A = this chain, B = another copy of it.
Amino acid sequence: MKARVFVTLKNGVLDPQGKAIGHALGNLGFEGVGSVRQGKLIEIELSETDEAKAKAALKEMCEKLLANTVIEKYDIELKA
């Protein structure tokens, strides 16, 4: 089973990397670009076949390692 985990800064947490990307896009001449936020994407292959169990394991991975839950939020997406 394949999973995608998205880790992004919580709303309200300053994101200088996203700001830099936004400015660079403006400098390149792209118009109408509003807020830009950068996060992490982690693709994990799991041998677990049970969806509920996989989700529980992924949640634990996020809490323990993948995300700093003080400033980051995470989102889990499973693909069979």
Q: Which residues of A contact B (CB under 8 A)?
A: 6-8, 18, 21, 24-25, 28, 30-48, 57, 60-61, 64-66
Contact B38 A21 (CB under 8 A): no
**Which chain B residues border A39 with CB–CB below 8 Å?**
40-43
Provide the bound-state CA to CA distance between A31 and B64, in Å.
Answer: 14
Contact A40 B43 (CB under 8 A): no
Among B33, B34, B40, B45, contact of A41 (Cβ-Cβ < 8 Å): B40
Chain B: which residue is nearest A22 at the CB level?
B44
**Which chain B residues border A44 with CB–CB below 8 Å?**
25, 33-36
Chain B: which residue is nearest A53 at the CB level?
B32
Provide the bound-state CA to CA distance between A43 and B43, in Å.
Answer: 17
